[in-house]
Chain A
Amino acid sequence: SQQGEEDPQALSIQEGENATMNCSYKTSINNLQWYRQNSGRGLVHLILIRSNEREKHSGRLRVTLDTSKKSSSLLITASRAADTASYFCATDNDYKLSFGAGTTVTVRA
């Protein structure tokens, strides 16, 4: 069953702006991960945050995790056209990863 739900479903921003998307989940997790998918291709892992961590950075990506609210956010700063993609959160529950339906991000030049 799907655990994570991303919000919004779609996001359109201007190049250089920040993009924020959220993920909510239902049950306790070991970790939460974010993936990117370009146009029907294989997913690429972006970042993993464990349940005892609150924030993590990787380049222009910032991920937060609030286990009390069962939610996470992914912030992409200074967006570029190459960031146009679908972004998925995945929650690790019992060593299985469950994916949400994704947020489609379009970065306009």
Chain B
Amino acid sequence: EAQVTQNPRYLITVTGKKLTVTCSQNMNHEYMSWYRQDPGLGLRQIYYSMNVEVTDKGDVPEGYKVSRKEKRNFPLILESPSPNQTSLYFCASSSRGGEKLFFGSGTQLSVL
């Protein structure tokens, strides 16, 4: 089944404790992206990747890192999480940039 898999689904952590949210797709998509969703603000793009080893900042990249070493994986790293990064995070992929996105189920992150 074609899907985007994100883990974990829920995560509670404390300020400053490094964490990684994993994202994997099985559709051989070139484009992958991370979004955060906050009430009233819709989805805001954090980082995106047009292909392996090619990543670029979205609209809200501060405090986040990504890497794209393999086509299928696009992990989101928070080196030193802060409470303002408490949010619902989505990973998504598409065959190429600008085309139909397939979304993961989301990761609800709480930073205390």
Q: Which residues of A contact B (CB under 8 A)?
A: 1-2, 30-31, 33, 35, 40-45, 48, 88, 90, 92, 95-102
Assess whether B48 is in contact with A96, with CB atoms less than 8 Å apart: yes
Q: How far is the CA of A90 from the CA of B58 in the complex (A)?
A: 14
Q: How far is the CA of A28 from the CA of B19 in the complex (A)?
A: 37
Count the B residues whose beta carbon is within 8 Å of the partner chain — how many? 29
Could you list some 19 contacts between A and B, CB below 8 A? A2-B42, A30-B98, A35-B101, A41-B105, A42-B4, A42-B90, A43-B92, A43-B101, A43-B103, A44-B103, A48-B99, A92-B98, A96-B45, A97-B45, A97-B98, A98-B45, A98-B59, A99-B43, A102-B42
Tally inter-chain residue pairs, CB-CB below 8 A. Answer: 64
Q: How far is the CA of A88 from the CA of B40 in the complex (A)?
A: 12
Interface SS of B by simple majority: strand
Question: From residue A97, how far is it (CB to closest CB) to chain B in Å?
Answer: 6
